[in-house]
């Protein structure tokens, strides 16, 4: 991964005087919540956290799920999972769906008034119910013995992710259901043999979002970017803890 990591980035830096739009992604908003200092170093000074390894298996699951739901989208039919979990919806057909899914070049976007900030996010899927409400859908993949849930403390990031998407679509004038869904795939390791095949147990988990926090957090993130002062670290930021620990010896 080191060949791709540039700790002294000169592009895609926030400049409050620039007329060019600056993309503030859903992931970077989450970074701001976790650690304002790392967010500032990344978005304004060009020093990002070292990247993790890509989750190729998760990406493969995402692509296959999209293909599967797209078949029912084209036919206007319910996916069998929707029937099994009694979710009375169908996949949404929309001319901008591919754009909204493209988090790097497109996504669902909203420009903050009187700024050059464009908040962005790329959704996995959108469904629609009989009320005409859009439903945000996110795909997740894991492999563990216990049943998948949304109860772990670290999954607050998943929930914030969905709420930001709900906020973005509402800002774009869409009627959005408070309830979104996670299509959660759990790799089954109980089989007698691998046989070059990994099978998944798939659940649809509902989540009732509350996006009331998003606007204020985006405003705080923009204030952080406009400041000339390096902000404090997050209370539980491993990267900042590491830098502090190393600096003691480097001095």
Task: Give the mean pLDDT of the chain.
Answer: 93
> Nearest-CA neighbor of 26 among 132, 140, 104?
104
Distance CA 188, CA 179 (A): 28
Distance CA 248, CA 165 (A): 41
Q: Which residue has the tokens 């002294």?
A: 8
User: Per the domain annotation, does 18 fall within a domain?
Assistant: yes
CA 98 to chain centre: 16
Dihedral sign from CA coordinates of 39, 3, 62, 197: negative
Please list, residue by residue across 215-238, b when 16 or more beta carbons sit within 10 angstroms of its beta carbon and e when fewer do. eebbeebbebbeeeeebebbeebe
Give the residue numbers spanning the domain of 72.
13-242
**Contact between residue 234 and residue 38 where contact means Cβ atoms under 8 Å apart:** yes
User: Per the domain annotation, does 120 fall within a domain?
Assistant: yes
Please state the domain count of the chain.
1
Give pLDDT, residue 3: 56
Q: What is the pTM of this model?
A: 0.92
User: Per the domain annotation, does 6 fall within a domain?
Assistant: no
Confidence of residue 1 (pLDDT cuts 50, 70, 90): very low
User: Per the domain annotation, does 249 fall within a domain?
Assistant: no
Query: Torsion over CA of 245, 249, 250 and 251, rounded to 10 degrees?
Result: 110
Q: In what order do the strands lie in the sheet with 108-111?
A: 22-25, 117-121, 108-111
pLDDT at position 2 over 50: no
User: Per the domain annotation, does 8 fall within a domain?
Assistant: no
Give pLDDT, residue 51: 83
State pLDDT tens for residues 133-168. Answer: 999 999 999 988 888 999 989 999 999 999 999 999
> Which of 53-57, 60-64, 137-141 comes out lowest in average pLDDT?
53-57
Q: What is the mean pLDDT of residues 74-91?
A: 96
User: Per the domain annotation, does 5 fall within a domain?
Assistant: no
**CATH assignment at residue 79:** 3.90.320
User: Per the domain annotation, does 115 fall within a domain?
Assistant: yes
User: Per the domain annotation, does 76 fall within a domain?
Assistant: yes
Give pLDDT, residue 189: 81
State pLDDT tens for residues 174-197. Answer: 999 999 999 999 888 887 778 777
Q: What is the mean pLDDT of residues 83-98?
A: 96
């Amino acid at each position: 991964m080191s060949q791709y990591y540039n700790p002294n980035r000169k592009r895609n830096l926030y400049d409050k005087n620039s007329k060019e739009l600056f993309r503030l992604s859903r992931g970077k908003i989450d970074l701001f919540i976790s650690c304002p200092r790392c967010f500032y170093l990344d978005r304004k000074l060009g020093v990002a956290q070292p990247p993790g390894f890509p989750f190729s298996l998760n990406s493969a699951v995402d692509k296959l799920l999209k293909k599967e739901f797209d078949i029912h989208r084209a036919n206007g039919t319910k996916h069998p999972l929707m029937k099994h979990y009694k979710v009375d919806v169908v996949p949404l057909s929309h001319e901008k769906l591919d754009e909204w899914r493209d988090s790097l070049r497109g996504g669902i976007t909203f420009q903050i008034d009187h700024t050059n900030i464009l908040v962005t996010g790329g959704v996995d899927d959108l469904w629609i119910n009989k009320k005409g409400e859009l439903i945000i859908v996110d795909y997740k993949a894991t492999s563990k013995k216990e049943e998948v849930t949304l109860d772990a403390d670290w999954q607050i990031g998943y929930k914030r992710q969905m709420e930001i998407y709900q906020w973005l679509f509402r800002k774009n004038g869409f009627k959005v259901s408070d309830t979104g869904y996670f299509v959660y795939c759990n790799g089954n390791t109980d089989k007698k043999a691998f046989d070059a095949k990994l099978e998944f147990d798939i659940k649809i988990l509902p989540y009732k979002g509350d996006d009331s926090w998003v606007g204020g957090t985006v405003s705080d993130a923009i204030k952080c970017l406009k400041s000339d002062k390096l902000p404090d670290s997050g209370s539980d930021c491993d990267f900042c803890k590491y830098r502090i620990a190393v600096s003691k010896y480097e001095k």
